[in-house]
Homo-oligomer: A and B are copies of this chain.
Amino acid sequence: MLGRGVWSSVRQGLSRGLSRNVGGWASGEGRKVDIAGIYPPVTTPFTATAEVDYGKLEENLHKLGTFPFRGFVVQGSNGEFPFLTSSERLEVVSRVRQAMPKDKLLLAGSGCESTQATVEMTVSMAQVGADAAIVVTPCYYRGRMSSAALIHHYTKVADLSPVPVVLYSVPANTGLALPVDAVVTLSQHPNIVGIKDSGGDVTRMGLMVHKTRRQDFQVLAGSAGFLLASYAVGAVGGVCALANVLGAQVCQLERLCLTGQWEDAQKLQHRLIEPNTAVTRRFGIPGLKKTMDWFGYYGGPCRAPLQELSPTDEEELRMDFSSNGWL
């Protein structure tokens, strides 16, 4: 069985309902939260007039709450966070906190372009109930985002955050991979607990696990497409868009990996690759939301400039699920 034993006692605590206190690192104890497990990155439902639909958000959460997720990521890339105002971002997190089961973790995306704005958003996220902040790399000036700049940015955020910080590297959106040497340096910060890596390069993921092995630092896969492989190289979980629609299956894949049932895990992983690509790289959030509609959740429209799928795209999206036995 894979996984890092260091977390086991903390995790037992968590399962007894202590999650809200785990992040109490602020007073210098350096106690970290165990983030191992599966998380759906929650989408933000909108009405036909592009208002945030908090009622639908809560309904989705109630349905998602029945799966053995470790928690929820709110305001990840799938949450359309760049399209929300600051107050919407906070209100969404607050509503999720209330609607979700008490024993689960809430990781809230608090990344902004400037260090100062990120610090402020991180503090606010903690105030409305986030257990940890998940902080995407700034990217508009990517040509100047050296390791030194990124280390400076994340150190400042982690210094001032009341909750633990999870690094977030998602080159498909940012055009920028957080360099491994920066990750290794940042892993030594007492308030940085891990990274969500959506790049899909497992050589890099294995290297991060290896070079942070003496730190309390955990690696999460950023997608269900390489979840099995990520477990194989030492990741402890995943933030998976696909878990918004195939939650039971993604959790089943986690269980198979954690219990060493690799042949069954492989078979299940194989059937998840095309659906996963369909709701991420191929058809993006419009594809994910359309699929949510099919699977009994509220998907609904995206905010502009994201467009609805064409009928042809929708047909191909359906095929990617049906040909693998999911529809």
Contact = CB atoms under 8 A, between A and B. Distances in A.
Interface string A195-208: 00000111100110
Contact of A200 (B173, B201, B266): B201
21 contacts: A82-B140, A82-B141, A83-B113, A83-B117, A114-B303, A114-B305, A141-B173, A143-B284, A144-B284, A146-B307, A156-B304, A200-B202, A200-B203, A203-B225, A206-B226, A206-B266, A210-B273, A229-B229, A232-B262, A234-B266, A260-B262
B284 A141 contact: yes
Contacts of A303: 114-116
Contacts of A116: 50, 83, 303-304
Nearest to A287: B144
A2 interface: yes
Sorting the interface of chain A by its residue count into under 10, 10 to 19, 20 to 34 or 35 or more gives: 35 or more
Interface stretch (A59-67, A147-155, A238-246): A147-155
Contacts of A201: 200-201
Interface of A: 1-2, 50, 77, 82-83, 85, 113-117, 138, 140-146, 148-150, 152-153, 156, 172-175, 200-203, 206-207, 209-210, 213, 223, 225-226, 228-234, 260, 262-263, 266, 269-271, 273-274, 276-277, 281, 284-286, 303-307
Nearest to A284: B144
Nearest to A282: B143
Given A138-B305, A146-B307, A203-B277, 8 more contacts: A77-B141, A141-B284, A149-B305, A156-B304, A201-B201, A226-B229, A229-B233, A234-B266
Contacts of A143: 172-173, 281, 284
Contacts of A277: 203
9 cross-chain pairs, A with B, having the tightest CB-CB distances, nearest first: A210-B270, A82-B113, A115-B304, A153-B305, A83-B114, A229-B229, A232-B232, A203-B225, A175-B175
